[in-house]
Amino acid sequence: MGTVIKGENLSKWYGNVLGLSEISVDISKGIQGLLGPNGAGKSTFLKILTGQLKPNIGEIKIFDEPVFNNHELFHRIGYCPEFDAYYREVTGWEFIRFKSALFGYSKKETDQRALTALEKVGLTDSKDRKITAYSLGMRQRLKFASSIINDSDLLILDEPLRGVDPLWRIRIIKMLKEFEEEGRTIIVSSHILSEIEAMTNNVILIHQGKIFAHGDIQEIRDLIGSHPHKVSVVCDDARGLAKKMIGDDLLLNIQFLDNEQKVIFETDKRDKFFDTLTYTISNSTINVSEITSPDDNLQSVFDYLIGR
């Protein structure tokens, strides 16, 4: 497979703050996940990738062309930025049509492409409403629509699922997989592991401006598997649930909070713990209102991996 993106020794500083440090990447066709906790350097990398920033050191090329100040390259690139940024005075249709027109299509094709993009994200019915009247999820879908107008060879998506409702998350992920099958390259950044996991096995882990790991997501999952894990359960009988969970040598620690309405379990056998928890809850009269896993985010994984 040919290289789509090639970056060598990319470093970027903001004054004394290091954004990226000596990152080298070689990205081919397919979906490439870009994972890292907030502040890891993902956005800096994507901004360099989209020519918004110039690396202090190193060089980046897309389709074998330099990126910075190369506007012609954007005929082949679609970009969905992370910001919830929009023009306040225009409708969804006016915005998408404007974005479409900037590609230099004929009037008919401009309209057709804008309409198709809106159809793909389910905003046709609300296209004539002002963007200010859209919900966060709708604005996010509009941004995504603006990135797919030109059927680009390379799609760069910075946190594209933030604020999108579950149904549309599934649809967008499905769409991205279809783009992959068409032979296109998609770079998706996220700080949520499960989002990336749903799209691809191929990930780059960024932490503190450096590439921490590059490869198969399963390896990261395995690392998480042995990571001491906290699970919070809110229910009507926390003490009763804890009593049933003790045994099988699953728990490292139990903590009760909120007048014993909440119990936090700590385990180093994550998968087996969840099996037991599911079985216990379904075979008891305990009413569970919430199960969350505060550790199931990248920051804790990185903290664990760096600290061990």
Which listed range, 1-9, 76-84, 230-238, 267-275, lies at the site for another protein (CB under 8 A)?
Answer: 76-84
Strand, coil or helix: what is 260?
Answer: coil
Asked if 166 touches another protein (CB under 8 A), the answer is no
Asked if 83 touches another protein (CB under 8 A), the answer is yes
**Residue (188 or 277) nearer to another protein, CB:** 188
- 305 CB-near residues (< 8 Å, 6+ apart): 212, 223, 227
Count of residues making up the chain: 308
By the 10 Å C-beta count (0-12 exposed, 13-18 middle, 19+ buried), 26 is classed as exposed
- 24 CB-near residues (< 8 Å, 6+ apart): 7, 8, 9, 10, 58, 211
Residues 170 and 161: their CA atoms lie apart, in Å, by 10
Shortest separation between residue 156's beta carbon and another protein, angstroms: 9
Cα–Cα distances (Å) from 283 to 235, 241, 287, 290, in that order, read 15, 11, 11, 17
Asked if 88 touches another protein (CB under 8 A), the answer is yes
**# residues contacting another protein (CB under 8 A):** 40
**Residue (103 or 274) nearer to another protein, CB:** 103
Asked if 69 touches another protein (CB under 8 A), the answer is yes
Which listed range, 64-72, 189-197, 242-250, 274-282, lies at the site for another protein (CB under 8 A)?
Answer: 64-72
- 2 CB-near residues (< 8 Å, 6+ apart): 28, 29
Shortest separation between residue 232's beta carbon and another protein, angstroms: 28
Residues 247 and 112: their CA atoms lie apart, in Å, by 63
Pull the structure tokens for residue 253. Answer: 């620690």
Q: Which of residues 132-161 bind another protein (CB under 8 A)?
A: 146
Which listed range, 90-98, 164-172, 253-261, 275-283, lies at the site for another protein (CB under 8 A)?
Answer: 90-98
**Residue (107 or 308) nearer to another protein, CB:** 107
Binding residue for another protein, selected from 10, 25, 35, 73, defined by CB under 8 A: 73
Asked if 106 touches another protein (CB under 8 A), the answer is no
Residues 71 and 40: their CA atoms lie apart, in Å, by 27
Binding residue for another protein, selected from 2, 16, 71, 308, defined by CB under 8 A: 71
Binding residue for another protein, selected from 4, 35, 43, 140, defined by CB under 8 A: 43
Query: Nearest-CA neighbor of 210 among 143, 81, 304, 302?
Result: 302
Asked if 41 touches another protein (CB under 8 A), the answer is yes
Shortest separation between residue 5's beta carbon and another protein, angstroms: 15
Strand, coil or helix: what is 43?
Answer: helix
Asked if 72 touches another protein (CB under 8 A), the answer is yes
**Residue (19 or 92) nearer to another protein, CB:** 19
Query: Nearest-CA neighbor of 269 among 298, 305, 308, 226?
Result: 226
Asked if 53 touches another protein (CB under 8 A), the answer is yes
Contact yes or no for 161/190 (Cβ under 8 A): yes
Helical spans, DSSP H, in 68-216: 92-101, 107-120, 136-148, 166-181, 193-197
Asked if 259 touches another protein (CB under 8 A), the answer is no
Residues 103 and 119: their CA atoms lie apart, in Å, by 19
Binding mask of the shown chain, residues 7 to 36, with x at each position contacting another protein by CB under 8 A: -------x--x-x-----------------
**Contact set with another protein (CB under 8 A):** 14, 17, 19, 38-41, 43-44, 47, 50-54, 69, 71-75, 77, 79, 81, 83, 85-90, 94, 98-99, 101-104, 146, 209
